[in-house]
Amino acid sequence: MRCRLALIAVAMAACHSNASPTTVLPTPLGPPPPAAVALQGHLSAEEGRELQVIRWIHEGSGIIQRFRDSGALADSVEWFVPGPSAVLPFAGTWRGLAGIVEFQRQLDSTMRYDRVELREYLASANSIAAVFFGEGIARGTGRPFRSEILRLYTFDSGTGKIVRVRNYYDTDSYVAAVRAR
């Protein structure tokens, strides 16, 4: 099994591949910086398409609308966020676009992000990871949180659609902010 791992700087462009026929990306990405040019030829065409989709979703505002507009989500997409759901109402497993919308509603009502910085992408086989740094406050307590966040997207190789999204972050930082301890 071929498993290449490529680190890609935040502002990178995908490797000049066309988007999958199941994906609509209405707004083009910026020009590729030198690091992206150096990666050309290192990602398969499929990895390049998948990276382009994830870049388009994350490198603009309104992530939920971008998910809708992209056509990249499988109807049964699974969105997983670890943590104690009794404390963090956005934690758990959410299904479909409606589940992602509810996740976002729960997150937004619990946490206020003052800073989110996309740091890098990782590409391997049928998965793309986006690494972020986030910080803000818990809305109920005003207490701060900060964490590096890894969001791992898994694509179905047959349809080219995202079938699973797993989020990993410092749950203790979020729990401490919500509980005000």
Give the model confidence (pLDDT) of 96-126 as tens digits: 999 999 999 999 999 999 998 888 888 888 9
Tokens read off for 180: 């005000």
The answer, yes or no, to whether residue 73 has pLDDT greater than 90, is yes
pLDDT at 67: 84
Query: What whole-number distance in Å separates Cα of residue 14 and Cα of residue 46?
Result: 11
Distances (CA, A) of 149 to 105, 119, 134: 18, 10, 7
Question: Which amino acid is it at 88?
Answer: L
pLDDT at 48: 86
pLDDT at 18: 38
Phi (first) and psi of residue 129, to 5 degrees:
-115, 140
pLDDT at 124: 85
pLDDT at 59: 74
Three-state DSSP state, 28: coil
Residue entry with tokens 């507009």? 69
pLDDT at 14: 33
The answer, yes or no, to whether residue 47 has pLDDT greater than 90, is no
pLDDT at 42: 75
Query: What whole-number distance in Å separates Cα of residue 80 and Cα of residue 151?
Result: 10
* pTM of the shown model: 0.80
Adjacent-strand bridge partners of 121: 8, 130
The answer, yes or no, to whether residue 84 has pLDDT greater than 90, is yes
pLDDT at 16: 31
pLDDT band at 1 (very low <50, low <70, confident <90, very high): very low
pLDDT at 27: 57
Residue entry with tokens 């930082």? 173
Alpha helices in the chain (DSSP H): 34-39, 45-58, 63-70, 96-110, 171-179
Query: What whole-number distance in Å separates Cα of residue 65 and Cα of residue 15?
Result: 24
pLDDT at 177: 98
pLDDT band at 127 (very low <50, low <70, confident <90, very high): very high
What percent of the chain has a predicted confidence (pLDDT) above 90?
51
> If you average pLDDT over every residue of the chain, what do you get?
81
pLDDT band at 30 (very low <50, low <70, confident <90, very high): low
